[in-house]
Structure 1
Amino acid sequence: MRPLRYSINVTLDGCCHHEAGLPPDDESMRYWTAQMARADALLFGRVAYEMMESAWRKPSTGTWPDWVTAWQMPFAETIDGAKKYVVSSTLDRVDWNAELLRGELEKSVRRLKEEPGDGLWVGGVTLPLALADLGLIDEYEFLVQPVLAGHGPTLLAGLRERIQLELVDRQAFRSGAVAMRYRPTRAVA
């Protein structure tokens, strides 16, 4: 069974808005590239999919825009080429190596997890909350930024039940950020 990993940047006060942390640097981009490359496919809700597509889809010209620097290129190439699944009740179609997941969320994600492979990666805010409530996340990965945002959406706000986690890995960055990976201590589906 493929594990489902939830990964996100978060500030010290729990804000998980993509603009609330520090701008990415070469070290964090290498980290996220490696983590994303461990997955057979990426799982997004509509908002995260559209945000990532607008930033990281290679233009039809075949040339990356000037703002994509050399140290961002491995991340850009990895996310652009990755298989993606999109959970949405409002989109009629997706592309960018993506497939819409239709039907009941729990059943659809369980089906994906049962396929052979190394794992699935999910990012974003709303979809991971629903997956956590269903007990479908096998690993939580937070890149904690040394910032206090003081506003914005917070990590897993509205979670129905507390989830006890155990630390399985930690990595400090030159920027002061710390990546921490956790697994639920209770059995997950």
Structure 2
Amino acid sequence: MKPLRYSINVTLDGCVHHEAGLAPDEESMRYWTAEMERADALLFGRTTYELMESAWRHPATGRWPDWMREWEIPFAEAIDRTRKYVVSSTLSVVDWNAELVRGDLGQAVERLKQEPGEGLFVGGVTLPLALADLGLIDEYVFVVQPVLAGHGPTLLAGLRERIRLELVDRQEFRSGAVALRYRPTSRSVT
């Protein structure tokens, strides 16, 4: 069974808004590119899918946009080619190497995890909360940014049960950010 990994940037005060942390630098983009290359598929909710597609989809012109720096292109290429599954009750069609996930979320994700491969990655805010509540996330990857945002959506806000985690890896960046990789050890009522 392939693991489901939740990966996201988060500020020291728990904010997960995509603009709240540090701007990407070459070192962090290399890290996220390596993570993306480990993914057999990505699992997104509608909002994250639309956000990622607008930023990272290879343009029909064949040229990456002028704002994209050369060291961001490997990430863009990796996410562009990776298979995507989109959980949405409002979208009727998706493209960008994607398909819609319908029906019971838990059963659908269990089926995806049963497929052969190295890993299924989920990003975003709302969908990972639902998956954590269902006990379906096998690994949490947080890149903690040395920033206090003071506002915005926070990491797994509203989680129904406490989930104990075991630190299995850590990587420090020159920017002061730290990538922390955890695996669940148990669940208990808070």
More strand by share: 2
- The residue number in structure 2 matching 1:6 is 6
When normalised by structure 1's length, the TM-score is 0.98
Q: Once the 2 structures are TM-superposed, how far is the Cα of residue 174 of structure 1 from its aligned partner?
A: 0.1
Q: Trace 1:104-143 onto structure 2 (pairs within 5 A).
A: 104-143=104-143
Partner of 1:102: 102
Q: Distance in 2 between matches of 1:117 and 1:65?
A: 32
How far is the alpha carbon of 1:129 from its aligned partner? 0.2
Partners of 1:185 and 1:136 in 2: how far apart?
Answer: 13
Q: Secondary structure at the match of 1:113?
A: helix
C-alpha displacement of 1:186:
2.6
What's 2:83 paired with?
A: 83
CA distance in 2, matches of 1:61, 1:137: 37
Cα distance in structure 1, aligned partners of 2:158 and 2:11: 18
SS in 2 for 1:185: strand
Q: Counterparts of 2:35 and 2:186 in 1: how far apart (Å)?
A: 24
Q: Note the 1:35-114 alignment, pairs <5 A.
A: 35-114=35-114
The offset of 1:72, in angstroms, is: 0.3
Q: Percent identity?
A: 79
SS in 1 for 2:156: coil
Q: Give the number of equivalent residue pairs.
A: 187
Q: Give the SS at the match of 2:71.
A: coil
Secondary structure, in 3 states, of the residue corresponding to 1:86?
strand
Deviations 1:32-90 (A, max 9, x none): 01011101000000000000000001111111111111110100100111100000000
Q: Which runs of 5 or more residues in structure 2 are unaligned?
A: none
Q: What TM-score does the superposition give when structure 2 sets the normalisation length?
A: 0.97
**Could you tell me which amino acid in structure 2 is paired with residue 129 of structure 1?**
L
What SS does the corresponding residue of 2:166 show, helix, strand or coil? strand
Matched letter for residue 178 of structure 1: V
Question: Which whole-Å CA distance do the structure 2 matches of 1:176 and 1:107 have between them?
Answer: 39
- The answer to whether structure 1 residue 30 and structure 2 residue 30 are counterparts is yes
